[in-house]
Amino acid sequence: MLQIALTLAIFLLAVIPAGTYMYHIAAGEKTFGDPFFDRVDQGIYRLCRIDRRGMGWKEYMGNLVLTNGVMILMGYFLLRFQGRLFLNPNGAAGMGPVLSLHTVISFMTNTNMQHSFGEEGLSHLSQMLVVIFMMFTSAATGYGACMALCRGFAGKREDVGNFYEDMVRVTTRLLLPGSLVIGLALVWQGVPCTFGGNVTVETVTGSFQDIALGPVAALESIKHLGTNGGGFFSANGASPLENPTIISNLLELFSMMLLPAACVLTFGKMASKGKQGRAIFAAMAILFLAGLALCYGSEMAGNPRLAQAGLQGPGSYEGKEVRFGIDQSALFTAATSAFTTGSVNNMHSTLTPLGGMVPMLHMMMNCVFGGMGTGLMNMMMYVVLTVFICGLMVGRTPEYLGKKIEGREMRLVVLVLVLHPLLILGFSAAGAVLPAGMETLANRDFHGFSEILYEFSSAAANNGSGFEGLEDNTGFWNITTGIVMLLGRYVSLAAQLAVAGSLLAKRRVKASAGTMPTDNGLFTVLLVFIVYIFAGLTFVPALALGPVAEHLTLWF
């Protein structure tokens, strides 16, 4: 518990300056690297002929979708023909059409759900020009959309910004230098970064084993900093070549948690009301700590049947790396799902039922800090809902940051909040009844339903981690999760930016004695309750059929 407390304390110390720095990037204010970065940015603007004028929310979203669509098309053809291209020392063949489409959708939507084996199915060129490239651009896309939403809510300008300028500035000033530093630190800890192919070595038992090598550190750095997920190796963050030491584990934890949390503080500065950002940050922290406590407590309680048979010591170590233990495994599990990174340092399928329910619940709520920018955007929908409900309770038109919340905004908010559970529950129901979904399950009991529920929760939340025990590289799973990833990403972004655009167009009204304060502890508590009530009413019946039922069969 001391390890967990120290880790979170260091995180809190780092997130404040990170939030200030991100505000300076978004607001176009002076940063320490401007003499160098301004030249780089100007070169990119001239080369790409970027018009830096401000955009309305529709134009912003249109350019976002167009840019992402072109990247998806380019990535698709690279994967299809990678077998004929260079930097392919292991002779990886071209991917099939359905798997290629699923892969590029996954990485472009910041989901990074992998239905292929990265160390076997991808060439080094594909790892760099598809996987790593999209890890940068998808993170920059999420950040840009979040900053546009923040500008709309703050209401200090007539537009929501310029998508291309947002994307360029965060990439050159934050993602690239940050990834370089993290990548070098990972190399220092033993993570390989090379263009070389597989190496065959003799093990201590006298057998031979192929060790996959490649640009692993380069991938791992932006994978966590951009809250992407996936991994160069199938074992992901549990692989000793991706995450070899406790230092690399802490570094990956900090890097995945830093920017999503900093976005919340950036919003407070944009609104010129730091307390607004701190109130939302506190609500997210409460949700995160509650999930962490449940996961840690459940893993420490272990499996009663193994304990009765004398096969288990204190806590459940099944599926965990001994170099991390239960504490760092539980913290990584809670963080990777709360910050929607999708990186794992233990096997989630072997978690205890309630321990495995925590990452599912985090992805279902989809607002516990969340991914690069998108977590704050989702939480802002709950903020608007909370203000609206509380306004109805006192019989006055609800207001937030000096703007009235009316019917148009609420219809868009409801669309965002209903779409997410509709994707998860609707497609989970299809996977549980259709033969194409059931035939690939490793388990046919409560745990099997949890596998299905986790898969679509991960896709809808753009998380990408897997519960495993599920043979997901089939036409059914590639197509259905691809649809869920696209809808979960772009429909939500469009509706959220529409809310920001609607508020931006409204006149500011003066606060009165009846205006509800949204920057104090009471509002934080109300926001937490609204999130839990909505999640409980929506997802508890499904969770009762999976992890809750499995827990009851073990303990009673």
Residue with more model confidence, 15 or 391: 15
Residue 23 maps to a domain: yes
The pLDDT tens digits for 63-77 are: 999 999 999 999 999
Name the CA dihedral angle for 392, 409, 158, 149, rounded to a multiple of 10 degrees: 100
How many residues does the structure list for the chain?
Answer: 556
**Distance from C-alpha of 252 to C-alpha of 274, rounded to nearest angstrom:** 28
pLDDT above 90: residue 303: no
Residue 358 maps to a domain: no
* Region 463-475 average pLDDT: 87
pLDDT above 90: residue 99: yes
CB half-sphere exposure, 336, CA atoms < 13 A: 32
Residue 506 maps to a domain: no
The pLDDT tens digits for 341-377 are: 989 999 999 999 999 999 999 999 999 999 888 999 9
* Region 18-29 average pLDDT: 93
Residue 248 maps to a domain: yes
pLDDT value at residue 430? 95
Residue 116 maps to a domain: yes
Confidence band (pLDDT; 50, 70, 90) for 220?
Answer: very high
Residue 282 maps to a domain: no
β partners of residue 320: 346
pLDDT above 90: residue 395: no
Q: Which structure tokens are listed for 325?
A: 């233990």
DSSP labels for 323-340? TTHHHHHHHHHHHHHHTT
pLDDT value at residue 315? 86
Residue 42 maps to a domain: yes
pLDDT value at residue 124? 93
pLDDT value at residue 3? 84
SS3 of 346, please?
strand
Domain count for the chain, please give it.
1
Q: Mean pLDDT across the chain, nearest whole number?
A: 92
pLDDT value at residue 355? 95
pLDDT value at residue 451? 94
pLDDT above 80: residue 118: no
The reported pTM is 0.94
pLDDT value at residue 541? 94
**Distance from C-alpha of 98 to C-alpha of 499, rounded to nearest angstrom:** 35
pLDDT value at residue 227? 93
| Burial class of residue 43, CB neighbours in 10 A (0-12, 13-18, 19+) | exposed
pLDDT value at residue 215? 94
In the chain, % of residues over pLDDT 70: 100
Q: Give me the phi and psi of 116, to 5 degrees please.
A: -125, 165
CA proximity to 407, closest of 426, 391, 423: 391
* Region 447-471 average pLDDT: 91
The pLDDT tens digits for 488-518 are: 999 999 999 999 999 999 988 887 777 888 9
Residue 359 · residue 465 · CB < 8 Å: yes
pLDDT above 90: residue 313: no
* Region 406-432 average pLDDT: 95
Question: By residue range, what is the domain housing residue 158?
Answer: 2-270
Confidence band (pLDDT; 50, 70, 90) for 466?
Answer: confident
The pLDDT tens digits for 265-300 are: 999 999 877 789 999 999 999 999 999 999 999 999
pLDDT above 90: residue 182: yes
Residue 40 maps to a domain: yes
pLDDT above 90: residue 230: no
